[in-house]
């Protein structure tokens, strides 16, 4: 692997639409679809069966710490930036988590 490809390698937790959806579906009951947008955004439209935890909320990390560690979390937002940040925090707390690259428009 070249130095440049190492620098620009996509993190394993950052999944493109088809891969994200496939991995989520394969996880069965162990998978949780998590929308980290605001409650207002979530109400305007979300992926079916997703739970909402607002990354912008002051208690986001406290809510993350209450999540069961025996689940895999599939996290999305509108563009992918908030979900990436959320997944980084979730992984730091010992959770298995994946971000939908490019946001919910890439849900295949």
For residue 104, the model assigns a pLDDT of 94
Burial bucket for residue 89 (CB in 10 Å: 0-12, 13-18, 19+): middle
Phi, psi of 42 (to 5 degrees): -60, -40
pLDDT at 40: 97
Helix (H) or strand (E) holding 27: helix 17-27
Tens-digit pLDDT profile for residues 25-44: 999 999 999 999 999 999 99
Query: Is it the case that residue 13 has pLDDT exceeding 70?
Result: yes
CATH superfamily of 11-106: Rhodanese-like domain (3.40.250.10)
* pLDDT score for 3: 56
Q: What is the mean pLDDT of residues 78-89?
A: 97
Tell me if 96 sits within 8 A of 72, measured CB to CB.
Answer: yes
Q: What is the pTM of this model?
A: 0.91
């Amino acid at each position: 692997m070249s130095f440049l490809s190492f620098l620009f390698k996509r993190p394993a937790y950052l999944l493109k639409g088809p891969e994200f959806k496939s991995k989520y579906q394969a996880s069965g009951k162990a998978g949780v679809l998590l929308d980290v947008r605001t409650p207002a955004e979530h109400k305007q439209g979300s992926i079916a069966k997703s739970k909402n935890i607002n990354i912008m909320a002051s208690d986001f990390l406290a809510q993350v710490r209450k999540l069961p560690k025996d689940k895999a979390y599939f996290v999305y937002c509108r563009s992918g930036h908030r979900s990436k940040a959320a997944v980084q925090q979730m992984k730091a707390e010992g959770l298995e988590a994946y971000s939908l690259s490019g946001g919910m428009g890439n849900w295949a």
